[in-house]
Every structure is written in structure tokens, then in C-alpha cells.
Amino acid sequence: MAKESRENRQLESEQLLTQILQNLPVAVFGKDIKNNFQICIWNKGAEDLFGIKKSEAIGKYDGDFFPKEQADFFRIKDIEASQSFGIIDIPEESAQTANGARLLRTKKTVLRGANGEPRIL
């Protein structure tokens, strides 16, 4: 009984965190480090900022949406951040979006597995 209750609480916690993440008023997106930085998290704020729906973003890569020069810059910063144990703060980076050119302030950090291996940027 305790195991079932613990599993229910964990599921409820995951659902709560998902709802919070999806409804934050800022863009939040995640990339699967092991899968060549494939987009795996995309919230409503990211949809609004980039003009790309979650259903169109998940499973794609920066190169699918941004000019090569921008995608290459994002990749360099992604690799740098994936090797870090802190937060990478990029005070200014430009992105050409469906909504026009945008100047972004980006913070990147890594979610690590139980063994410390980087999983999601």
C-alpha cells in the first residue's frame, strides 16, 4: 500500500511540475543531450516567443528552425553548457524567429541522471 501511495504522489508531483513548466510566462525548452540536442521540452512561452508550436518543435533540432549561423552558435553554447556544472548565462543572443528578429537573454543548465551523467539541457 505504501509503495502505491508513493507512486501516486510521484505521479501527482510530475503532473504538477509539468503544469507549472507549461504555463510559465517565459520560454522554457529542453534538449536531449544524448540525442544530439534534439528538442524534448517546449512550453507555451517558447511557442509564443519563437512562433513554433510544441507539436512542431518536439523531436526537431535548432537547424530545423534557425539559419545555419544561428543554429551553429546555439550548438556551440549547448556543448559548452552540457559540459558545465553551473548555469551558462548568455546576456545577448539574437534569434531569427517566425515573429521576426528577437534579442534573447538565455540561461542554460543541465539536468543530470542519478549517476551524474548529463541528460537534458
Cβ-contact 39, 58 below 8 angstroms: yes
Taking residues 95-114, report their average pLDDT: 84
Return the percentage of the chain with pLDDT > 90, whole number. Answer: 31
Query: Structure pTM?
Result: 0.82
Total domains in the chain come to: 1
Structural domain boundaries enclosing 98:
27-120
Cell output for 10: 510521484
15: in domain: no
Q: In this structure, what CATH number is given to the domain that contains residue 108?
A: 3.30.450.20
DSSP reduced 3-state for 93: strand
Render pLDDT for 13-64 as a digit per residue (tens, 0 to 9).
888 888 887 888 898 999 999 999 999 999 999 999 889 999 999 999 999 9
85: in domain: yes
89: in domain: yes
Q: pLDDT value at position 34?
A: 93
Q: In 3D, which of 80, 67, 70, 68 has the Cα closest to residue 33?
A: 80
CA 33 → CA 1, 38, 91, 101, distances in Å? Answer: 37, 7, 23, 27
Q: pLDDT value at position 77?
A: 87
Cell output for 100: 521576426
Q: pLDDT value at position 3?
A: 67
CA distance 62 to 38: 8
98: in domain: yes
Helix (H), strand (E) counts: the chain? 4, 6
19: in domain: no
Q: Is the pLDDT of residue 79 over 60?
A: yes
Cβ-contact 43, 24 below 8 angstroms: yes
Give the pLDDT band of residue 2 (cuts 50, 70, 90): low
Give the containing element (helix H, strand E) for 47: helix 44-50
Q: pLDDT value at position 55?
A: 95
